[in-house]
Amino acid sequence: MIKKIILISGIILAFAGGNLLAQGFSAAGTRLLGTNSIVAIVEDKIITRDEIMKELAPMIPQIQARARNQMEFNNEVNRLFVEVVQNLVDRELIIKDFKDKNFQIPQSTLDSYFEDYLQREFGGDRAEFLKYVQSQNKTVKQVREEFEESLIVSSMQQQKRMTVSEVSPTKIKDYYEQNKNKWYSPASARVSQIMINLSRSPNPENTKKLAADIVKKARAGEDFAELAKRYSQDAGASKGGDLGIIKKGDFTPVIDEAVFKLKEGEVSDPIETGGIIFIFKVFETKKEGIQPIDEVRDQIEWILVEQNQKITYQKWLESLRKKAYVKYYD
């Protein structure tokens, strides 16, 4: 039976005015609320303010760290309060839909989930688990029911997010054409280097001659990696000076300009900067530009699948909300 969703305007006014802070948390994140009022009813399930505050409590320190002032703090807490309320409402609707369809979580799955939790949180110690359950004023049965509900929600969410049709080549092409800037790639090169510390050399002139000699050897065909192992004074010497793929702009402007003038296989002149001499060899180069669609097709398909999944999931939630009785209270 479809029932109208009743939204009490007072709850929105309370949020907008920042009164939630005084009702639930102090500026230091301390609980102040003494009474546990009803915030929403979903069919026959009651959602209380205590439930919402329990969800919000772990987020308060992060909100405090980000907020630049009291108003920002209040607004963010209020926004999250509304979000948590909706999430709890949706959770109940998902569980109801699962049960209405006569779906079941296999007992073996629930047992496995429970055992994993017991091992993860209590090292498998059932006595410690029982102490924790008692401290929460719950029974083991209630805890297992909560586990089952969590499994129901996650399985239904996964199922709905997977029910997405294949993305057509036309949609992939359209997305590529509309978002080409996302696939821009700066010039890049696979580079190796030899670094010599000139500032610590007892004879700088001899060190400069050594650098020039290394360049001659490299250009004459000697293995650059072996030259790096023999002469380079940086941590990468043992790896033959290999820097991997470097994008234009990763180096300082002086080095960047020199390196990206080189063609594949070329060795740079000695580059002196900041008391250090650098020698580079470029092995592969790639010009700047937009990556071809074939190189990014899989990425685009994944993006579109995620978008479709979100749309499908939201439509499903909206359909559950429309046919359910949901009432919000101030």
The Cα-based distances of 63 to 29, 33, 54 in angstroms read 10, 19, 15
What total number of domains does the chain contain? 3
Taking the mean position of all CA atoms in its chain, how far away is CA 278?
Answer: 38
Same domain, 4 and 25: yes
The boundaries of the domain holding residue 151 are: 107-162
Same domain, 283 and 146: no
Collapsed DSSP state (helix, strand, coil) of residue 280:
strand
Same domain, 279 and 193: yes
Residue 97's CB is within 10 A of a number of other CB atoms, namely: 19
Measured CA to CA, the distance from residue 97 to residue 74 in angstroms comes to: 35
Same domain, 297 and 211: no
Same domain, 55 and 173: yes
The Cα-based distances of 166 to 275, 301, 302 in angstroms read 58, 9, 11
- CA torsion angle 92 93 97 98 (round to 10): -30
Specify the DSSP element, H or E, that contains 42: strand 38-42
Give the tens place of pLDDT for each residue, 237-257.
999 999 999 999 999 999 999
Measured CA to CA, the distance from residue 182 to residue 174 in angstroms comes to: 13
pLDDT of residue 165: 56
Same domain, 140 and 174: no
Ramachandran angles phi, psi of 298, nearest 5°: -65, -40
Give the tens place of pLDDT for each residue, 52-90.
998 899 999 989 888 889 999 999 999 999 999 999 999
Averaged confidence pLDDT in the chain: 84
pLDDT of residue 215: 96
pTM: 0.53
Specify which residues 278 forms β-bridges with: 195, 271
- Residue 192's CATH number: 3.10.50.40
Same domain, 215 and 276: yes
Taking the mean position of all CA atoms in its chain, how far away is CA 114?
Answer: 27
Taking the mean position of all CA atoms in its chain, how far away is CA 327?
Answer: 34
Specify the DSSP element, H or E, that contains 128: helix 126-135
H helices present in 232-292, as ranges: 253-259
Same domain, 261 and 296: no
Give the tens place of pLDDT for each residue, 148-184.
999 999 888 877 765 555 678 899 999 999 999 888 8
Measured CA to CA, the distance from residue 309 to residue 246 in angstroms comes to: 36
Same domain, 312 and 283: no
Q: What number is the average pLDDT over the span 286-308?
A: 89
Residue 255's CB is within 10 A of a number of other CB atoms, namely: 18
Residue 277 has pLDDT above 90, yes or no: yes
- Residue holding tokens 């994944």? 302
What percent of the chain stands above pLDDT 90? 51
- Residue 86's CATH number: 1.10.4030
Residue 275's contacts (CB-CB under 8 Å, 6 or more residues apart) are 197, 198, 199, 200
Longest dimension (CA), the chain: 91
Same domain, 171 and 56: yes
- CA torsion angle 59 60 66 69 (round to 10): 150
Q: Where are the beta strands (DSSP E) in 93-199?
A: 184-185, 188-197
Give the tens place of pLDDT for each residue, 104-162.
889 999 889 889 989 999 999 999 999 999 998 889 899 889 899 999 998 888 777 65
Measured CA to CA, the distance from residue 86 to residue 40 in angstroms comes to: 9
Measured CA to CA, the distance from residue 171 to residue 175 in angstroms comes to: 6
Same domain, 150 and 58: no
Same domain, 169 and 45: yes
Ramachandran angles phi, psi of 107, nearest 5°: -60, -35
Q: Check the CA dihedral 38-41-44-46 and report its sign.
A: negative
Q: Are the C-beta atoms of residues 323 and 2 closer than 8 Å to each other? A: yes
Identify the band that residue 280 occupies on the pLDDT scale cut at 50, 70 and 90.
very high
